[in-house]
């Protein structure tokens, strides 16, 4: 039997409906360092999941286990129902084609044209030249770079290079796209255009995407679900809106702080030195954020509350408000009234005594 196509039936694991990836209690350590400490995660077809964590949390190790570059010490990893954690290198080859990857530094071959870069995985797969070129052109069209087929990577901007990276990753029609900090080297505007391209491709092709990132903004703009990883464990997971509206783990809160609207420094200084005012940070999501929030606060504004800063944004089409209020610190009944109303609307209220 050809070892390339051989997959031991004992290594296939029953698939849940629409499940593309399943990790079960995955452990990996490097000498004394525990990189993955019992990761279990299931990813459904068509889902975009963001895996976020600080530096050293275990993200790269996780992605390397997913594409078979790293072997877990224990636990199971299944892609489309096939256990990959015990396969040999040659058994892994056909399965790797089911996984496309994009990288922070694009990893394009500088001596090859854009078209040849995109066609390369198909050459490795053994497709005929005409078919390779046709597929490369189709992919370049998908990422909006048809006119750059004959260009070399050095002639492209960072955003264009990443589009080529995406076209190359999708050329073999993978079931799963792994994105490893793919926008970390790009400016904010280019980041937005790459993220919206990924979202568009996800819609158009029903492609499953796992985004590894340390930036909550990336997760917020396109992911359906987020898994927060810290010290090799998933400490919190759920739909993006609920994690943003109600982060529970301290590390999630810290990661969120970097991406949530903050008070400007000069206001922080002024409010810190003003003991007569209590400063509240309020987060609230859903229709309430758009409709009822300010009506509920009208009385408080009449009694001396001030809106210092804030507004409404949309995460996965769900409105989320983050506002900063100050209240007269002495007026205990007003403070209670405001807190009560906001709590009744499921708002998260923080007293920022030391903003």
Residues of this chain that bind ligand ATP (CB under 6 A): 30, 33, 35, 53, 55-61, 214
The minimum distance between CB 67 and ligand ATP, in angstroms, equals: 13
**Which residue is associated with the tokens 């800063």?**
309
75 vs 261, beta carbon nearer ligand ATP: 75
44 vs 233, beta carbon nearer ligand ATP: 233
Cα separation of 153 and 179, whole Å?
Answer: 20
For 221, counting Cβ atoms within 10 Å of its Cβ (0-12 exposed, 13-18 middle, 19+ buried), the class is: buried
Give the SS3 label for residue 108: coil
Pairing of strands 233-239, 306-315: unpaired
The minimum distance between CB 50 and ligand ATP, in angstroms, equals: 13
6 vs 30, beta carbon nearer ligand ATP: 30
232 vs 281, beta carbon nearer ligand ATP: 232
The minimum distance between CB 151 and ligand ATP, in angstroms, equals: 31
- Which positions ≥6 away from 128 have C-beta within 8 Å? none
Question: Is 132 in contact with 206 (CB distance < 8 Å)?
Answer: no
For 225, counting Cβ atoms within 10 Å of its Cβ (0-12 exposed, 13-18 middle, 19+ buried), the class is: buried
171 vs 229, beta carbon nearer ligand ATP: 229
34 vs 329, beta carbon nearer ligand ATP: 34
The minimum distance between CB 190 and ligand ATP, in angstroms, equals: 21
Beta bridge partners of 283: 322, 348
Give the SS3 label for residue 203: helix
The minimum distance between CB 233 and ligand ATP, in angstroms, equals: 12
The minimum distance between CB 59 and ligand ATP, in angstroms, equals: 4
């Amino acid at each position: 039997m050809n070892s390339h196509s051989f997959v031991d039936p004992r290594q296939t694991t029953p698939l849940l409906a629409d499940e593309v990836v399943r990790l079960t209690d995955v452990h990996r350590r490097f000498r004394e360092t525990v990189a993955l400490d019992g990761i279990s995660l299931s990813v459904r077809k068509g889902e975009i999941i963001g895996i976020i964590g600080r530096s050293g949390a275990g993200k790269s190790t996780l992605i390397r286990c997913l594409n078979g570059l790293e072997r877990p010490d224990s636990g199971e990893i299944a892609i489309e129902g096939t256990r990959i954690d015990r396969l040999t290198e040659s058994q892994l080859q056909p399965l790797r084609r089911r996984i496309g990857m994009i990288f922070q530094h694009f990893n394009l071959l500088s001596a090859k044209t854009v078209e040849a870069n995109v066609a390369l995985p198909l050459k490795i797969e053994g497709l005929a030249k005409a078919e390779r070129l046709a597929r490369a052109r189709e992919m370049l069209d998908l990422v909006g770079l048809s006119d750059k087929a004959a260009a070399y990577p050095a002639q492209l901007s960072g955003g264009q290079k990443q589009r080529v990276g995406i076209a190359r990753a999708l050329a073999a029609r993978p079931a799963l796209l792994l994105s490893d900090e793919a926008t970390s080297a790009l400016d904010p505007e280019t980041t937005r255009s790459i993220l919206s391209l990924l979202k568009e491709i996800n819609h158009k092709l029903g492609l499953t995407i796992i985004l590894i990132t340390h930036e909550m903004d990336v997760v917020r703009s396109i992911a359906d679900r987020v898994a927060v990883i810290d010290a090799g464990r998933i400490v919190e997971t759920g739909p993006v809106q609920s994690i943003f509206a109600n982060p529970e783990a301290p590390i999630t809160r810290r990661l969120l702080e970097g991406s949530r609207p903050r008070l400007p420094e000069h206001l922080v200084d002024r409010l810190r030195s003003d003991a007569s005012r209590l400063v509240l940070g309020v987060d609230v999501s859903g229709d309430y954020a758009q409709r009822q929030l300010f009506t509920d606060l009208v009385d408080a504004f009449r009694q001396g509350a001030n809106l210092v800063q804030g507004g409404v944004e949309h995460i996965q089409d769900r409105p989320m408000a983050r506002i900063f209020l100050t209240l007269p610190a002495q007026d205990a009944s007003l403070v209670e009234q405001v807190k009560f109303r906001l709590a009744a609307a499921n708002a998260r209220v923080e007293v920022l005594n030391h903003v």
